[in-house]
Amino acid sequence: MALIEIRDVTKTYPSARKGAEPVHAVRDVDLSVEAGEIVGIVGYSGAGKSTLVRLVNALEPATSGSIRVDGTEIVGLSERRLQQVRRGIGMIFQQFNLFTSRTVYGNVEYPLVVAGVPRQERHERIVELLTFVGLADKAHTHVEQLSGVQKQRVGIARALATRPAILLADEATSALDPETTVEVLNLLRRVNADLGVTILVITHEMDVVRSIADRVVVMEAGRVVEEGDAFGVFSRPQHPATQRFVRTLVEDVPDERTVEAIRRRHDGRLVTVSFRDESVSQSAVFAELVRRDVEFELVHGGVEQVRGRAFGHLTLELRGDPARVDEAVGAVSALVETREVA
């Protein structure tokens, strides 16, 4: 049994004005999350990803369907029982949402007080958590004096205080710069690896998903349009929405303007070869070209790492005797996916 089982879940908000259509924020979503996974939920704003995670900790009640968290059906549960469920699910936010009326210590203490943990035990836990996130020396600082990344560290410590099995990260790095984003992602990875916490990461930043997610779920207009292990989704995106997202990271075929720019300097034949499978190495492709006396130059593309596996798209300019170039393209297509660039 998966840790989180979402079955046929829909969330509909009644229309804001009379006569207007109701808003279907989440439609017919099925999703299972196994214990120990990091799942990236990707989508543009309004795709329903934020609503979906709020259904998991019942900050928003689902309109229909079934959501099981660690075996407990939470749809239709009483508010009192939901409060218990929520103590087992941590959440961090884009805007950190720290209590400005409390110190760092007070922020981390709050969920422990809510859970009824005695004072001495609270103190030990807070010290442990602040050490884990590297803010032990900031315990009595007011949160407004912290930098963005420090605030998110406090947010993470606070979310983990009651030892939840699940952590929901709602655009947790979107307010941070690239450098501090890496810091927070490293911390989340430790939360997952060292503490065994299952993490749902909502983001619109593909780079975040690439660096942290084991599995990727793509949402559009309230529906899950694609789902799969991270490498598969990145190397072979199926749905147009996924393809658009992956393109933000690695372009497969250069776009029109890039082709134009390339053409200004390269008049040979352009082909894009895509490596999605580690059984075919780049050197095998290049060897085919060299064997046929075809000159080639790398004019566009790149290689990315996902979960320790590489994939990439390289656009090559091929020059030489047209017949041999034809032959070479034929041989290369037999090895890897090859597309002509107009």
Decide whether 52 or 168 has the Cβ nearer to other proteins.
Answer: 168
CB of 328 to other proteins, least distance (A): 58
Q: Which stretch binds other proteins (CB under 8 A): 40-48, 89-97, 250-258, 268-276?
A: 89-97
At its nearest, how many Å lie between other proteins and the CB of residue 86? 4
79 near other proteins (CB under 8 A): yes
Shortest Å distance, C-beta 13 to other proteins: 10
- Residue 18 Cβ, how far from other proteins at the closest point, in Å? 14
- 194 is a contact residue toward other proteins (CB under 8 A): no
* SS3 (DSSP) at 141: coil
Smallest distance, Å, CB 52 to other proteins?
15
If one asks whether residue 87 binds other proteins (CB under 8 A), the answer comes out as: yes
86 Cβ partners below 8 Å, 6+ apart?
Answer: 57, 58, 59
Residue 153 beta carbon to other proteins: minimum distance, rounded to whole angstroms: 15
Q: Is 342 exposed, middle or buried (0-12, 13-18, 19+ CB in 10 A)?
A: exposed
Contacts with 175 (C-beta within 8 Å, 6 or more apart), sequence order: 94, 95, 96, 148
With CB under 8 A as the contact rule, the residue among 86, 138, 266, 300 that binds other proteins is: 86
Residue 62 near other proteins by CB under 8 A: no
Give the residue with the Cβ less far from other proteins, 103 or 282: 103
Q: At what angle do helices 282-291 and 322-335 cross, to 10 degrees?
A: 160
CB 80 within 8 A of CB 115: no
Give the interface segment with other proteins, choosing from 36-44, 80-88, 268-276, 319-327 (CB under 8 A): 80-88
Identify the CA nearest to 131 among candidates 112, 153, 146, 115.
153
Provide, rounded to whole angstroms, the least separation between the CB of residue 89 and other proteins.
7
Nearest to 87 by CA among 67, 122, 119, 113: 113
214 near 37, Cβ under 8 Å?
yes
44 scored as a contact of other proteins (CB under 8 A): no
Asked whether position 95 contacts other proteins by CB under 8 A, the answer is yes
Applying the rule CB under 8 A, the residues between 139 and 168 that interact with other proteins are: 142, 144-145, 158, 162, 168
The yes or no reply on residue 115 touching other proteins (CB under 8 A) is yes
CA distances from 333 to 61, 279, 284, 285 (A): 51, 15, 12, 9
Does 45 bind other proteins (CB under 8 A)? Our answer is no
Burial environment of residue 217 by CB neighbours within 10 A (0 to 12, 13 to 18, 19 or more):
buried
To which residue do tokens 């884990």 refer? 132
